[in-house]
Every structure is written in C-alpha cells, then in structure tokens.
Chains A and B, each alone.
Chain A
Amino acid sequence: MLYAMLCYHSEDIVCSWTKEEDDAVLARLGVVQEKLAKAGKLGPVVRLMPTTAATTLRKDGEPPLVIDGPFAETKEQLLGFYLVECATLEEALDIAKELGRANPGGAYEIRPVSLYNPGKAAP
C-alpha cells in the first residue's frame, strides 16, 4: 500500500527560518529520506511554495471561478493531487479546468512546487 504523507506546519514559522535553519532541517530530513530510498520505499517528495503563490480554481459552477490565494474552505477535504509540468500559471489553469470538466464540484488549489525529488517506490 502506498501512503501519502501530507505536511502541515505554520507558514509564518517556516518562512521565518534563516537559510541555515532551513538547510539544517533539509539535511535532517535527507538522512531519513535516504534510508527510505535505499529500501525502495520512497516515492516523490515535494515542497510547495508559500500559499501566497497559490491560485484556486472553484469548479462547482460554470464557468469555473479563478480565485487568488490558497484553498480556504473547511467543508471539503483533500482527496488527491496531481503534479503537472506547466510553462505558465495560465497553462496550469487550463489543465485544471479540463480536469474540472471531467470531474465537476469542489476545487483545485494550484501551487507552484519549489522542491521536487521524483523518488522511486515500488508499489
């Protein structure tokens, strides 16, 4: 069974880390990740940009609504995610809209990725 581990933390605190503190956290995580990778257990690892870089597509109406900022509702739950290579935010929104037509309702939060390690877990 593959498990997704979704990372939550206070953005205020993480954004206030100095470069040294940030590097130290990444180094400690790197040790754990390497162990997992060696065991063939590690899939993609992703660090997202701050929520200020996010755009949200509400796809419960027609046409769907583009809102600046992160997904902020509490009545819906995180059910899945995609990683898509796009040249611009506009392209990402087009793709999200197409996905939305296939599966209306709810929303997609579109957030640029700042760090990506593809990993390779054997499912």
Chain B
Amino acid sequence: MSELASIDATLTAARPRAVAALLRYFRDLDTAEEAVQEASLKALKTWPQKGPPRDPAAWLIFVGKNVAIDAARRQKKQQPLPDEEALSDLGDAEGALAERIDDGHYRDDILRLLFICCPPDLPATQQIALALRIVCGLSVKEIARAFLASEAAMEQRITRAKRRIAQANVPFEAPGAPERAQRLAAVAAMIYLIFNEGYAASGGEAHVRAPLCEEAIRLARLLLRLFPAEPEIMALTALLLLQHARTPARLDADGEIVLLEEQDRRLWNAGMIAEGLALVDKAMRHRRPGPYQVQAAIAALHARARRPQDTDWSGIEGLYAMLERMQPSPVITLNRAVAVSKVKGPESALAMIEPLARQLSGYFYYFGVKGGLLMQLGRNAEARVAFDRAIALANTAAEAAHIRRHLDRLIADSGADNSAAAAR
C-alpha cells in the first residue's frame, strides 16, 4: 500500500469519529463536515512529512475545530454572526483539547451521527446516500456512480435529504438505554440497506456497486467495535461477511446470475466465511436470539456446506420458521417454502406459497420460485405462465435473463416431448 493510500485509509477510518465529535461541538452538520474536510486536506499536506499522528481522529477533531472557528471569526468580521447560539461553546475553544470534547462520548456521538442519517420517513435510497456521504466520506461523484445516477441529481438528492434531517432535531444529550437500543436497531437496518443496495446489483452494475457492500461491512465493524457486546450487531456483521464471501461466484463470465446451488464454492472467500462463522458463534453464546442472528445462522448453514447436497435444509427450514415468528412477512414465508421444497418436496412448498399470491403479486422472486416448483412437478404450462410474469417483474436484465433460461429449458423439453409423441 502506498503512503498516500495508507493516509487515505487512516482518514477514512477516523472520519466517523471526527465528524461525530464536531457535530456535537458545533451542533451543525455542514460545519462539522466542512471542518473535517479542511482538516483532511491539511492532513494530506502535513502527514507525509511529519508522519501520521498517534491518534488520527483526535488530530482531525482538534485541527477541524480550529479551522471552523477561524472561519467563523473571519465571517464575523465581515458580517455579524446570526447563529451565535449555535457557537455558544466557543468560549473555551482555545484551551480545549480534542480529547475533552471526545472523551467517553464518542460511542454515542458516532451512533447519533449514523442515526440522523436514517429517519424513518426518509426514503431508503436517501438514507443510504446520506450515510455514504456524511459517515463514509464518499464523494457525491462516487455515490452517483454507485446509484447509476447523474452527479447533479445525486447532489440535489443529498442536499434535500440534509435539509430534512436538519429539521429532525435529534437531541445531543447521551441517550438512555431504550433510546440507545432503538437507535442501534435503526442504524443496523440502514447498514443492511446499504449492503443490499450493493448486493442486489448484477451484471455490469455489480462491479461499480461492490463498494457499497464494502462500506456496509466497514460500518458494521465500526458499530461492533463501539458496541462489542450486542449479539445482533455481531450477527449483522457476520451476515454481511457471509453473503459478501459469495460475491466472486455469484455471476458467470457473461454477467449472468449463478444460483447458490450452482455456484463454484471454491470461489467463495474463505477468510470472510471463517470470520462470519466466528461471529455467529460469538453471538449465539448470548442466547438472546434476534432476526439478524437467525439470518446469519441461515447464511452460516449455506457457508458450511462444501457441496450443495450437503446443505442442512431442514435446519434452514427451522430457522426460517423462527424468523417468520419474529417478523412475519410473506417474503420470509416464500424463503421458507424454498427450504420446505428441499425437505418435503415441491408439492408442500407450492401449497405454502399459494396463499401468498395476492400479497406478492408484484414480486419477481415469487413467480420465479412458483415457476420453479411447478416445473419440478411437471406442470410446465403453468410454470411458463409464472416465468412470463417473473420476467415482466424483473428488476435487472440479469434477473430476466436467468428466468428466460428456465423458459428456454421448458420450451426445449416440450419440444422434445412433442417430437417423442410424433415418433410414437
């Protein structure tokens, strides 16, 4: 790793703590962000000569704070500062060391920073864009690329989202235990959204969106370091690692989706799987099951199977049943049905998913699974109807292509049937 890349990695890692501390100090997100930005630029100039400081985040906080105060003073000379109240802590600014604003609070500071990025009324894509911009420090250009959007559109989206959260008024006092747990849950969900945004991509998009998965893993690790005793955060980190481990095997050379059962398992990232399994193990010890633990346990059972036929489907079925009880949802039932089809056969699975038809009438996977089950039962005409519907609902070209391959197989089969009949 070059020196510059190493400084860059250090700055990226230190950023959440620095922005979070300065946000509490200045009580204004833009000021905090700009301060860290300026301090980072100074770091890029001075660290190569003097070497990086022992505590990079404290350095960024200290330098960022001084830079922002200087800027405010300069502005004050030109025009009276209207937001005096926001800067009321400035009295002790000169003497205060970074450690003082930071000490003992940084855990809740970073949680708050993550939490303000995910108010429930903000659309998921905006939450993700905000977190990537503010917490991870990705440039608008990088975020726009990951969302396949124009830079101007993304800039506008982020500005609008920021305006929304500025009005949210998240209190700056240390949160109580229930509030902290609530924030943690919201932040965990947002991190999972970031991951899925990257993971759901396929084909040509997969390459540009992989960084979203990596950022999500980075944030999950950060959260786990802040809250090391939370089994759900251990499990979230594990879940992301176990899923991301499969990335090298998920698409074939033509960018087409390779189903889990058909993946070349030698391509799975063994290091990530080992770490994911260790974290699942660690979480289970707490005997406080939660949705992320169940999902991570499912991913762990897949990861442990050396060959698809070694998969513990009845274990997976049981875990989906547990997840269904924790968070009832037709999508989870659909997933459970896939496991049921492996354990009890396609007939039972089909019976399970038929009642979901109305709720999942616009869901690509529903018709993909249904078509697959019908095909296994030899009900090819019905399977074809389901697959046609799936193609119409496909979100990406790779999804559509995948279903089309099933259809081709059906048509080829029926062609073979016809010719067999003709020969008879």
Contacts and interface: CB of A to CB of B under 8 A. Distances in A.
Interface in B241-287: 269, 271, 274-275, 278-279, 281-282, 285
B281 A89 contact: yes
B268 to A, nearest CB: 13
Interface residues on B, range: 20 to 34
Interface string A86-107: 0011100100000000000000
Given A12-B9, A13-B9, A21-B1, A50 B228 contact: no
Interface in B81-113: none
Given A21-B1, A69-B229, A12 B275 contact: no
Interface residues of A, number: 26
Given A16-B9, A69-B229, A114 B281 contact: no
B202 interface: no
Contacts, number: 65
B292 to A, nearest CB: 15
Contacts of A51: 225
Contacts of A19: 269
A57 B195 CA distance: 33
B125 to A, nearest CB: 25
B285 A112 contact: no
Contacts of A53: 275, 278-279, 282
A89 B1 contact: no
Chain B residues touching A, majority SS: helix
B396 interface: no
A16 B13 contact: yes
Nearest to A21: B1
A10 B10 contact: yes
B164 interface: no
Contacts of B9: 12-13, 16
User: Which residue, A13, A15, A21, A69, has most C-beta atoms of chain B within 10 A?
Assistant: A13
A60 interface: no
B171 to A, nearest CB: 28
A98 B58 CA distance: 41
Given A16-B13, A49-B274, A69-B229, 7 more contacts: A49-B278, A66-B285, A67-B228, A68-B228, A68-B234, A89-B282, A90-B281
Interface of A: 10, 12-13, 15-17, 19, 21, 25, 49-53, 55, 66-69, 88-90, 93, 112, 114-115
Interface of B: 1, 6, 9-10, 12-14, 218, 221, 224-225, 228-229, 234, 237, 269, 271, 274-275, 278-279, 281-282, 285
